[in-house]
Structure 1
């Protein structure tokens, strides 16, 4: 009797789902970006002379970019940290200038660049001829940025058929 009831019960409430496993494509699909293999990367070091005083927050932000993908570093400046607009623009300029140099000189794609190291060296120049009480001094920061970038063989353009 129980077997008959079991076979004749309504199956409309049961869920059937067929899942087909997709082939994994070459792009990451939301996964964190991976460092490229060591035979694919090249590094370039840039030294930037910054003639304004860097705030403690700006120094902290720049130091947090060690071993970070450039896109994430720029995203952090724009959205993560609550900065003054002038300071935000200055930090973006510090990162954009080496990236543009790589793009223009070596045809490196923006999405193939990682920040390897950032060093900040502050130099203070004191004017000896002014009063010591006035505190007239010029502070210059030298920011050294070492970037990794992925090198690719350029794609050969196909000739047209006509």
Structure 2
């Protein structure tokens, strides 16, 4: 599986001004980010069951689930690891959030018909995954100024 299968359709930009205002006020509301990912095949039933258990789980626990529970199907395991890591790195770069402060808030799996040249090929279905991640951003500790 190549990385081109990762399509982030509905990535909504962060309001950086809002994050900055929250820093200044000391008010730390969670930030929600939605990612839409299309998988070029259908996920196995086992993988779908595992994905449904991710609601409310911390990012690092989800990573362990992928590594230990999906070790039978290497293609799906690699695909989900790529998705998870790209989403985590995006949030970390956009908000300076720690991986320990990122949670899977919601996940939806929908089957989408696959159209090729305006024809449906033998009822082929693709899976579309919608992840909503929640993270808390806390300001870095301020260093006291040293008088010289």
Q: TM-score surpassing 0.5?
A: yes
- For residue 104 of structure 1, give the secondary structure of its aligned residue in structure 2: helix
149-158 or 57-66, which deviates more: 149-158
- For residue 76 of structure 2, give the secondary structure of its aligned residue in structure 1: helix
Report how far residue 149 of structure 1 moved: 0.7
Which residue number in structure 2 is paired with residue 135 of structure 1? 122
Q: 1:85 to 1:158 in 2, by over 3 A?
A: farther
Q: 1:73 to 1:44 in 2, by over 3 A?
A: same
| C-alpha distance after superposition, 1:23-64 (max 9, x if no partner) | xxxxxxxxxxxxxxx954222211122223211122111111
In structure 2, the gaps of 5 or more residues are: 1-26
Which residue number in structure 2 is paired with residue 153 of structure 1? 139
Question: TM-score under structure 1 normalisation?
Answer: 0.63
In structure 1, the gaps of 5 or more residues are: 1-37
> Aligned runs of 1:81-100 on 2, under 5 Å?
81-100=70-89
Question: TM-score under structure 2 normalisation?
Answer: 0.68
Q: 1:80 to 1:50 in 2, by over 3 A?
A: closer
Cα RMSD, aligned residues only: 2.8
Structure of greater Rg? 1
- For residue 102 of structure 1, give the secondary structure of its aligned residue in structure 2: helix
User: Quick check: which one's helix share is greater?
Assistant: 2
- Asked whether the equivalents of residues 126 and 136 of structure 1 are also in contact (C-alpha less than 8 Å), the reply is no
